[in-house]
Amino acid sequence: MHGMMGKPTLSAQQNLATSRVMLMLLVAMTGVAPISLYMLVPALPVLATTFGRDISVAQMTVSLYMVGIACSQIIMGPLSDRFGRRPVLLAGLALMVGASIACIFADNLPQLIAARFFQALGGATGMVVSRAIIRDLYERERVGAMISLVIAVMMIAQMLSPLTGGLIETAFGWRAIFYAITGGALIVAVGIALALPETRRARAAGSGFRGDVGSLIRNRAFVGYVLCQVLASQIIFTFAGGGPYIVVTQMGRSSAEYGAWFATTAFAYLVGNLLCVRFAPRHSLEKLIWFGLALQLSGSVLNLVWSLTGWNEAPSWLFGTQMIVMVGNAFVMANSAAGAISVRPEAAGTASGAMGFLQQGIGSLVSQFGAYLGGHSATTLPLTSAITAISLLCASTMIFVVPRREVVVSEELIEQAEEEESGMM
């Protein structure tokens, strides 16, 4: 067991990269926080009734959870570069287990809200560290495919989590949801403790958080890839924020029907990730991003045209076209994330954390903006205009910010060139 805990040899690392156990661990550590988020959503009305508070206060168990996810990204990523992937993952999951137990015994809603924040702070460690582990184990051109594969498998479980949470609450009460979350976090922690060796790359003497951040923000490739990934994610937040108001208020449909239509966009995103896994072995990371940008922008412009003509005042037109956007979005997000964490592999945790923090932090504001556009408009035009504008900005980062790669070179030469560029800027 002692040998398993140390840094794996090159041969062992290659075996680890192809291991199904590693894939399962990556999926589990990535999914434990978002699955825990969505499991509680069906119980929000029950929480409001149980504690005698308004539903908006109960909603804070979700909104503060998302804040916890954002904070975890910016804290745990750099810590994993400094102290290693394993200890930070285990510490984060220990925090999640402790916070989940606190949720079980919460006597009032403020206590539950606070415990949920720390639950997210610990649980989201897996989200940020999993991307760093993928970069530790795989070559640059395979990182996007592995991120897509992990997301695709995780999304299946995530889509089932609201149903699971609703069934648990109906049968055993809302506290039983946290018993399930506690058990799940413990299982993931045990799996990591037994089967995950340390994968962090060797670091230069004297390197640290300040040096990592400085080198990353001075690197055009990193800035461009992060902007591309974050902007692509805002398309999801914008549409998710405005969609319910458009379907329920403008189109006069039920919330259940909205849920069914919104599931089509999640399915399209899942399909996009699976296609990315299939195409990645034969195409470069940049080509996959450009393909995704083309689909993303084409779908956005098409939905804008439908808004101008009035055709997408029916859900089938609005969501059918948005599915094109989401397939492209999957290509853009996975591969731009791969590009960002590949700029400086030894600082993959810091890069992953910064990207995740910006994605979640800006997303919380953008979702409110989307809700405003959907709730204060008589047509879909403001929302589809905003999505088209974001798609254009996303494409612009690849055109004007990310440096061109004119020749095919080895991964080592790419890293060397990017480090030299960082030093010159």
Angle, alpha carbons 114-115-121 (nearest 5°): 95
- Tokens (6 digits) for 77: 């990523």
Q: What digits encode the pLDDT tens for the residues 58-87? A: 878 888 898 899 899 899 999 999 899 999
More confident call, 278 vs 364: 278
pLDDT confidence bin for 53, thresholds 50/70/90: confident
Residue 37 clears pLDDT 50, i.e. is over it: yes
Distance CA 129, CA 30 (A): 8
Task: Name the CATH superfamily for 211-424.
Answer: MFS general substrate transporter like domains (1.20.1250.20)
Q: What digits encode the pLDDT tens for the residues 143-183? A: 888 888 888 877 777 777 888 888 999 999 999 999 999 99
Average pLDDT estimate for 415-420: 51
**Type and span of the H or E element at 187:** helix 175-195
Residue 252 clears pLDDT 50, i.e. is over it: yes
Do 295 and 376 touch, CB atoms closer than 8 A? no
Q: What was the pLDDT predicted at 214?
A: 84
Domain boundaries, the chain: 2-200, 211-424
Q: Which residues contact 323 (CB under 8 A, 6 or more apart)?
A: 264, 265, 267, 268, 299
Q: What was the pLDDT predicted at 382?
A: 93
More confident call, 229 vs 410: 229
- Tokens (6 digits) for 271: 């399909």
What fold characterizes domain 2-200?
A: Growth Hormone; Chain: A; (1.20.1250)
Distance CA 314, CA 318 (A): 7
More confident call, 1 vs 19: 19
Distance CA 236, CA 320 (A): 15
Q: Which residues contact 119 (CB under 8 A, 6 or more apart)?
A: 36, 65, 68, 96, 99, 100, 103, 181
Sign of the Cα torsion 29, 33, 34, 35 reads positive
Q: Which residues contact 142 (CB under 8 A, 6 or more apart)?
A: 280, 281
For 46-102, what is the HEC assignment?
HHHHHHCCCHHHHCHHHHHHHHHHHHHHHHHHHHHHHHCHHHHHHHHHHHHHHHHHH
Q: What was the pLDDT predicted at 97?
A: 97
Q: What was the pLDDT predicted at 385?
A: 96
Distance CA 130, CA 192 (A): 11
Q: What was the pLDDT predicted at 365?
A: 82
| Count of CA atoms in the C-beta half-sphere (13 A) of 238 | 22
Using DSSP's 3-state secondary structure scheme, residue 401 falls into coil
Residue 1 clears pLDDT 50, i.e. is over it: no
Residue 89 clears pLDDT 90, i.e. is over it: yes
Q: State the pTM of this model.
A: 0.79
Domain 2-200 identical in fold to domain 211-424: yes
Residue 414 clears pLDDT 60, i.e. is over it: no
Q: What digits encode the pLDDT tens for the residues 313-369? A: 889 999 999 999 999 999 999 999 999 998 888 888 899 999 989 988 888 788 778
Backbone angles phi, psi at 405, to 5 degrees: -110, 105
Amino acid, single-letter form, for residue 196? L
Do 188 and 93 touch, CB atoms closer than 8 A? yes
Quick one: angle between helices 109-123 and 60-83, nearest 10? 30
Do 315 and 264 touch, CB atoms closer than 8 A? no
Instruction: Estimate to the nearest angstrom the gap between the alpha carbon of 397 and the chain centroid.
Output: 20
Q: What digits encode the pLDDT tens for the residues 295-322? A: 999 999 999 999 999 888 889 999 999 9
Distance CA 13, CA 4 (A): 11
Residue 419 clears pLDDT 60, i.e. is over it: no
Please state, for a pLDDT cut of 90, what percent of the chain lies above it: 46
Q: What was the pLDDT predicted at 389?
A: 97
Q: What was the pLDDT predicted at 2?
A: 36
Q: Name the range with the highest mean pLDDT among 189-203, 236-250, 299-313.
A: 299-313
| Count of CA atoms in the C-beta half-sphere (13 A) of 419 | 12
pLDDT confidence bin for 12, thresholds 50/70/90: low
Other beta carbons within 10 angstroms of residue 399's beta carbon come to: 11
Q: What digits encode the pLDDT tens for the residues 90-135? A: 999 999 999 999 999 999 999 999 999 999 999 999 999 998 999 8
User: What's the mean per-residue pLDDT of the chain?
Assistant: 85
